[in-house]
Amino acid sequence: MRAIGLSKSFDGVLAIDQVDLALPLGKTIGLLGPNGSGKTTLVNCLSGVLSPTAGDIYIDAERITRHSRAARAQLGLARTYQNLRLFPALSVAENIEAGLTGVRPKPSARLWQQRLASAIDDYGLAEVIHRPVGTLPYGLQKRTEIARATIGMPRILLLDEPAAGLGTGDCENLAELLKRAQKSIGFALLLIDHNVAFVIKLADSLMVLANGRAIRHGAPADVLGDHEVARIYLGDMMHASR
pLDDT per residue rounded down to tens, the chain (242 residues):
999 999 999 998 999 999 999 999 999 999 999 889 999 999 999 999 999 999 999 999 999 999 999 999 999 999 999 889 999 999 999 999 999 987 878 889 999 999 999 999 999 999 999 999 999 999 999 999 999 999 999 999 999 999 988 889 989 999 999 999 999 999 999 999 999 999 999 999 999 999 999 999 999 999 998 888 887 765 554 434 33
Query: Judging by DSSP bridges, how do beta strands 188-192 and 13-22 pair with one another?
Result: unpaired
Domain boundaries, the chain: 86-153
**CA–CA distances in Å: residue 151 to residues 68, 119, 144, 147, 188:** 21, 6, 10, 6, 15
Q: Are 145 and 170 in contact (CB under 8 A)?
A: no
pLDDT given at position 6 = 98
Residue 167, sorted as left (phi over 0), alpha (psi -120 to 50) or beta, turns out to be beta
Give φ, ψ of 175 to 5 degrees: -60, -45
**Sign of dihedral through CA atoms 185, 190, 192, 193?**
positive
